[in-house]
């Protein structure tokens, strides 16, 4: 009975492939935050919280009873997100506040109003990011990716730092990317990428800046109750959609899409590492580290672990954003 044997083999083959797919999907989904810690009475600021992993993070932290401030650029999308996050989390303690990280004056205005209106800030999540855009400039003339991903957050964090230090237990979380490792040096003589502009290289450079900023920040915060960590959220479906898919025809999209569904994280999965870093009790005193898939990971390149580069980047960044230095 050859026919039956063939059918049987096909059946087994399909079953094995099915199990393998489920296994792979779980693998690529990364870890989950298993902590049940609540954030009652805590105030959280999340930049870029109107979409993607920022929004998922906001929903989760609002569910855990934190007051969540959505720091976003677009007022219409910000208010829309505020409404939606309130519904999805069941919490009214979610507020949109305008923050344009591509404008130093906006960063200063946002910080001023937060410092005036909030009694305390307990978690700052520097989540907003722009990836591989054309050679745009910020309001102050900085290259857009370095300006938004690094300089805007650098200034924001510094302006809030004294306030943060007043709370008994504070976490600063910088959403970087494993892209940091594709960048082998800091372009100290061309931080604005004026000499040559390759969109992805400049993105990776800005993510290396996030990692080095975290390093120097954590060093400066030793002896305080404030921790600073960076992380890789994973490769998320939203980002891909925004930057690759528009350039493809429908046939290519059909070929690529099954792989995207298999390999890339959903925004909910992509938010898990941030949520872990924000709530896990075990991480309360952990600082200066890098996380991915809800676990601490070693940094893989020499430059990303250079105290010297981290210090130099801090000094130059402070100068660029007009910050008084008092290390």
Ligand X SMILES: *[C@@H]1O[C@H](CO)[C@@H](O)[C@H](O)[C@H]1NC(C)=O
| Residues designated catalytic | 203
Going by C-alpha positions, the residue among 225, 230, 180 that lies closest to residue 203 is 180
Mind giving me the DSSP string for 209-230? HHHHHHHHHHHHTTTSSEEEEE
Q: Quick check: 180 and 204 in contact, CB under 8 A?
A: yes
Which helix H or strand E contains 144, and what residues bound it?
A: helix 144-145
Which residues, numbered 280-309, are part of the site for ligand X (CB under 6 A)? Answer: none
Mind giving me the DSSP string for 31-76? ---------TT-EEEEETTTSHHHHHHHHHHHHTT-EEEEEES-HH
Mind giving me the DSSP string for 171-186? EEEEE--GGGGG--S-
Which residues, numbered 125-164, are part of the site for ligand X (CB under 6 A)? Answer: none
- The residues with which 87 forms a beta bridge, in sequence order, are none
Residue closer to ligand X by CB (options 121, 183) is: 121
At its nearest, how many Å lie between ligand X and the CB of residue 165?
Answer: 7
Alpha-carbon span 63 to 162, nearest angstrom: 28
Residue closer to ligand X by CB (options 3, 168) is: 168
Q: Quick check: 176 and 232 in contact, CB under 8 A?
A: yes
Residue closer to ligand X by CB (options 31, 288) is: 288
> For residue 265, which phi and psi values (nearest 5 degrees)?
-80, 150
**Using CB under 6 A, which of 3, 134, 141, 168 touches ligand X?**
168
Which residues, numbered 44-103, are part of the site for ligand X (CB under 6 A)? Answer: none
Cβ neighbour number for residue 169 with a 10 Å cutoff: 12
Locate 302 and state its tokens.
Answer: 């020499």
Residue closer to ligand X by CB (options 166, 198) is: 166
Size of the residue set binding ligand X (CB under 6 A): 3
Is residue 286 left, alpha or beta, with left meaning phi > 0 and alpha meaning psi from -120 to 50?
Answer: beta
Residue closer to ligand X by CB (options 134, 168) is: 168
Residue closer to ligand X by CB (options 86, 163) is: 163
225 binds ligand X (CB under 6 A): yes
35 binds ligand X (CB under 6 A): no
Alpha-carbon span 211 to 304, nearest angstrom: 7
Which residues, numbered 4-23, are part of the site for ligand X (CB under 6 A)? Answer: none
At its nearest, how many Å lie between ligand X and the CB of residue 186?
Answer: 33
Locate 114 and state its tokens.
Answer: 């937060």
Q: Quick check: 76 and 157 in contact, CB under 8 A?
A: no
Contacts with ligand X by CB under 6 A lie at: 166, 168, 225
């Amino acid at each position: 009975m050859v026919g039956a044997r063939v059918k049987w083999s096909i059946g087994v083959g399909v079953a094995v492939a099915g199990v393998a797919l489920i296994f792979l999907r779980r693998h690529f989904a990364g870890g989950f935050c298993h902590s049940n810690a609540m954030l009652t009475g805590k105030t959280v600021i999340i930049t870029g919280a109107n979409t993607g992993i920022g929004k998922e993070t906001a929903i989760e932290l609002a569910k855990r009873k934190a007051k969540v401030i959505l720091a976003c650029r677009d007022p219409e999308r910000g208010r829309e997100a505020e409404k939606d996050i309130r519904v999805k989390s069941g919490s009214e303690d979610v507020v949109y506040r305008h923050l344009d990280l591509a404008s130093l004056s906006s960063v200063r205005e946002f910080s001023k109003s937060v410092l005036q209106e909030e009694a305390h800030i307990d978690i700052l999540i520097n989540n907003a990011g722009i990836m591989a855009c054309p050679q745009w400039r910020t309001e102050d003339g900085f290259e857009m990716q370095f300006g938004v991903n690094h300089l805007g957050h650098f200034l924001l964090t510094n302006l809030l730092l004294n306030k943060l230090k007043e709370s008994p237990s504070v976490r600063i979380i910088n959403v970087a990317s494993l892209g940091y490792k594709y960048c082998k040096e800091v372009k100290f003589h061309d931080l604005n990428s004026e000499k040559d502009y390759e969109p992805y290289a400049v993105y990776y450079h800005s993510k290396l800046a996030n990692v080095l900023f975290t390093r120097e920040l954590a060093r400066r915060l030793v002896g305080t109750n404030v921790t600073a960590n960076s992380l890789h959220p994973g490769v998320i479906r939203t980002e891909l959609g925004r930057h690759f898919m528009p350039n493809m025809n429908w046939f290519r999209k059909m070929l690529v899409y099954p792989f995207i569904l298999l390999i890339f994280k959903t925004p909910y999965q992509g938010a898990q590492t941030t949520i872990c870093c924000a709530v896990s009790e075990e991480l309360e005193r952990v600082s200066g580290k890098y996380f991915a898939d809800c676990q601490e990971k070693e940094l893989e390149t020499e430059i990303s672990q250079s105290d010297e580069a981290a210090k130099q980047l801090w000094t130059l960044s402070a100068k660029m954003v007009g910050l008084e230095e008092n290390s």
